[in-house]
Structure 1
Amino acid sequence: MIAQAQLQLMTPQDYLEWEEQQPIKYEYINGEVYAMTGGTIPHNDIALNLASAFKNHLRGKGCKVQIADAKVGISTKGPFHYPDVMVSCDPRDQKARKIIYHPCLIVEVLSPSTEAFDRGKKFKHYRRIETLKEYILIDSEKMSIECYRLNERNKWELTSYSLEEAADTQSELNVEFTSINFQCPISLVYEDVVFPEESIE
């Protein structure tokens, strides 16, 4: 999903000006740019389901919900990424037109080509955002969600939600998004998603 573009090292300002002229989106890390390629239909369904739920919950509460075309800046010098979904309730982002700098929640929908990057280097970048309270990783191949939350000791804690857990309790599993005071059934996150074993391709 991410392929390095063969270009010379760019300054952050060069990147921002250059990317506006490009037909596709590019992420920016340490002077290098990486082309963003298209995701799968399940990937898109999950992001849309969550963004819609967040938008309904946060309507009128001074928060902005963004999907994949919105860029997040770790700082004004980068790195710059395109999360699948993010939420900012920070007044400094309310009139942003190009870049969000103060999100409280970021969601990445995992795919085989980007999973290692989303779990590793990208999360390392995101942890530098002072306003970030929650980082969500969602598996697009099975019902499994990992929520990393900043606790009162300023450490990141992992809470996992999976279909296996729901089977153990014999009840609908609710996923909590504590940074925006919201919870929903895991089935809502995966509504209309076709898993590999169900596919006719």
Structure 2
Amino acid sequence: MSIAAETPMTVEAFLAWAEGLDGRWQLLDSRPIAMAPERAAHLLTKAQAWDALYRAVGRAGLPCTVFPDGATVRVSARTAFEPDALVTCDPRVPPDAIEIPNPLIVVEVLSEGAADPTFGAKLENYFSLPSVAHYLIVDPERRTLIHHRRGRGDVIETRILTAGPLPLEPPGLALAVEDFFVPP
């Protein structure tokens, strides 16, 4: 369940407006949308996904940063999302930043029983950013990971995985699908 605010906004106006509000908000086509409260399984899976990426970046010795939810990704002047985790290898992220530029990997965790009205728009919008190489959708209920990867030209390659290796190139991370899920 979500609630859409009625006032059309730019990303700048949205970020100023949302800063003092409770809960998570996203902006789609200039309309602020409140996201539904998160259940425990969703929260634990988000933490697990962040931890998996954080450990993989550390193992690879890459100069990348893994951010948990709360960081905003601007995809246009009127659309900004708050993914559940993201990786950027851009060293220019100031400590007081609200927006994270140039995400390389974006992660969304599906919520049980809560429809996200931005879900359908995210694939196209995230890949409109030249920096995005991977968009991962984690389904904790089915223990499935959907990996969208930028291919050649305009091609977006999609794999649906339940186990096994998950190499993310770029930036050169070695993970396993199982790393994204809380052990049963």
TM-score range with shorter-chain normalisation? 0.7 to 0.9
SS in structure 2 at match of 1:46: helix
1:18 CA drift (Å):
1.3
1:71 is aligned to 72
User: What one-letter code is carried by the residue in structure 2 that aligns with 1:63?
Assistant: C
1:128 CA drift (Å):
0.9
Residues 28 and 118 in structure 2, CA contact (< 8 A), matched pair in contact too: no
Query: Does residue 147 in structure 1 map to residue 147 in structure 2?
Result: yes
Bigger mean CA deviation after superposition, 91-100 or 26-35:
91-100
2:88 is aligned to 88
Distance 2:144 2:66 in 1: 22
Distance 1:65 1:91 in 2: 12
Bigger mean CA deviation after superposition, 51-60 or 91-100:
91-100
Cα deviations by residue, 1:109-164 (Å, 9 ceiling, x for unpaired): 1124336742x2111211111100011111121121111111234411012212xx
Which one has the largest radius of gyration?
1
Structure 1's consecutive aligned runs of 4 or more residues displaced over 4 angstroms after TM superposition are none
Distance 1:156 1:96 in 2: 33
RMSD of Structure 2 on Structure 1 (CA): 2.2
- Tell me: higher relative CO, structure 1 or 2? Use CA pairs within 8 A at least 6 residues apart: 2
**TM-score normalised to the size of structure 1?**
0.79
- Residues 142 and 31 (structure 1), Cα distance of their counterparts in 2 relative to 1, 3 Å cut: same
Structure whose residues are more often helix by fraction = 1
Percent of pairs with identical residues: 22
**TM-score normalised to the size of structure 2?**
0.86
| Residue from 160, 175, 183 that aligns with 2:174 | 183
User: What pairs with 1:53-132 in structure 2 (closer than 5 Å)?
Assistant: 53-59=52-58, 61-75=62-76, 77-93=77-93, 97-111=97-111, 112-114=113-115, 117-118=118-119, 120-132=120-132
Is there any run of 5+ residues in structure 1 with no aligned partner, and where?
167-172, 194-201
Distance 1:40 1:24 in 2: 13
- Residues 18 and 117 (structure 1), Cα distance of their counterparts in 2 relative to 1, 3 Å cut: closer
